[in-house]
Amino acid sequence: MTEIARDAELSALGLALGKAGHLSDSALRDAFLKLRGTNADDQVESLLAIAGVIRPAVAGSLAATTNAIERGLASGVQAIPISSDRYPAALRGIVDAPPVIFIRGALEVLHRPPGIAIVGTRKATGHGLTIASRLATFFGNAGLTVVSGLAMGIDAAAHEGALLSASPTVAVLAHGLDKATPRANSHLADRILENGGAWISEHPFGATPKAEYFVLRNRIQVGLSAASIIVEGEERSGSSTQAEFCLRNRRLLLAVVPDSPSRVVTQSQLPMLLVNKRGAMAIRSRDDYEDSLAAVRRRIADLSITMGVVA
């Protein structure tokens, strides 16, 4: 059996155990981690034993999860459990890492060093969009994978800027990978795949988006990155959860702030709060780019020591 097939089988069983109420997400994650380093051919039976369940007890749920994973494989979507060596080490090391991830596109991005997440509000200013794109191109040309969420506004601008660089970009989605949303960014999503990037999600093929999924996907963006840059956002915008996940997981936090008080706008409230009260490193102009890059590279080196990630 190939590694892809083993990962698919184990992922299907793990999701079935969760769907049937035998294991919570945290219990499933712990069970998968116990399987690391064990004989791959025995892991399915070992997972059943850990859960204290016989296969017939999850037959219905397993049929459904297996079907979803097989439909995904037919469309180029692979399932990867946290026990697999193909699962990104930096993502495995965060608090509340997803037990299973799904990827569509270049698997090689999972084995690159952790990148840089560039995110922000959907209600971006023209100035913010320009900065997001410029930052993504700069960090991409420096060899970093740019990670974002494909949302309208800052996220889309970050992906666009990354596509102008020498490095791939990754879109973390809040639904199954049968399609990309929002529809307005579907062409952008296709270009990400065409240019050696990937879509990643914790949701199986066919799963539809829910409001809470958009908050939780921020932790995956953090886990795939050594640092996050918040470009624009209102004080209570969704990007505040990205910042909290970043700080909680010892990732570097940066924020774009106006270079003059006269340029303060509503969308700068969150970045200014993060710099003034949460210790975020400020990016005020292009003059700060090189220092920011050096700080991110130091964090990548730290992660390579503490988590064994590729540096």
Six token digits for residue 311 = 């540096």
pTM: 0.95
Q: Are 232 and 190 contained in the same domain?
A: yes
Kind of pairing, strands 146-148 and 169-172?
parallel
Residue 47: count other Cβ atoms within 10 Å of its Cβ. 22
Q: How many C-beta atoms surround the C-beta of residue 77 within 10 A?
A: 22
Residue 7: which residues within 8 A CB-CB, separation 6 or more?
A: 78, 79, 80, 81, 84, 86
Q: What are the tens digits of pLDDT across the range 83-97? A: 999 999 999 999 999
Asked if 140 and 166 touch (Cβ cutoff 8 Å), the reply is yes
Q: Which of 34, 53, 87 is the last residue of a domain?
A: 87
Distance CA 311, CA 300 (A): 6
pLDDT tens digits, 94-150: 999 999 999 999 999 989 999 999 999 999 999 999 999 999 999 999 999 999 999
| pLDDT tens profile 281-299 | 999 999 999 999 999 999 9
The verdict on 76 and 123 lying in the same domain is no
- Domain count for the chain: 2
Distance CA 179, CA 203 (A): 12
Residue 237: pLDDT band with limits 50, 70, 90:
confident
Which residue spans within 231-299 are E strands per DSSP? 252-256, 281-283
Same domain, 117 and 237: yes
Contact 289, 283 (CB under 8 A): yes
Same domain, 113 and 82: no
Structure tokens that stand for 49 in this block = 């034993």
Q: Is the pLDDT of residue 41 over 90?
A: no
User: pLDDT tier at 61 (50, 70, 90 boundaries)?
Assistant: very high
| pLDDT of 235 | 86
Please report, for the domain that includes residue 116, its CATH number: 3.40.50.450
Residue 53 lies in a domain: yes
Residue 40 is assigned to a structural domain of this protein: yes
pLDDT-based confidence at 174, cuts 50/70/90? very high
Report the pLDDT value the prediction gives residue 259, as an integer from 0 to 100.
78
Residue 223 lies inside a defined structural domain of this protein: yes
Residues 79 and 227 in one domain: no
- Tell whether 126 and 211 lie within a shared domain: yes
Same domain, 156 and 203: yes
Chain segment 238-292, per-residue pLDDT in tens: 899 999 999 999 999 999 998 776 555 658 999 999 999 999 999 999 999 999 9
Is 80 exceeded by the pLDDT of residue 311?
A: no
Task: Select from 41, 57, 87 the last residue of a domain.
Answer: 87
Does the N-terminal peptide bond of residue 99 adopt cis geometry, omega within 30 degrees of 0?
no
Q: Which residue has the higher pLDDT, 182 or 264?
A: 182
Task: Say whether both 122 and 251 belong to one domain.
Answer: yes
Domain residues for 36? 3-87
Task: pLDDT band for 53, please (50, 70, 90 cuts).
Answer: very high
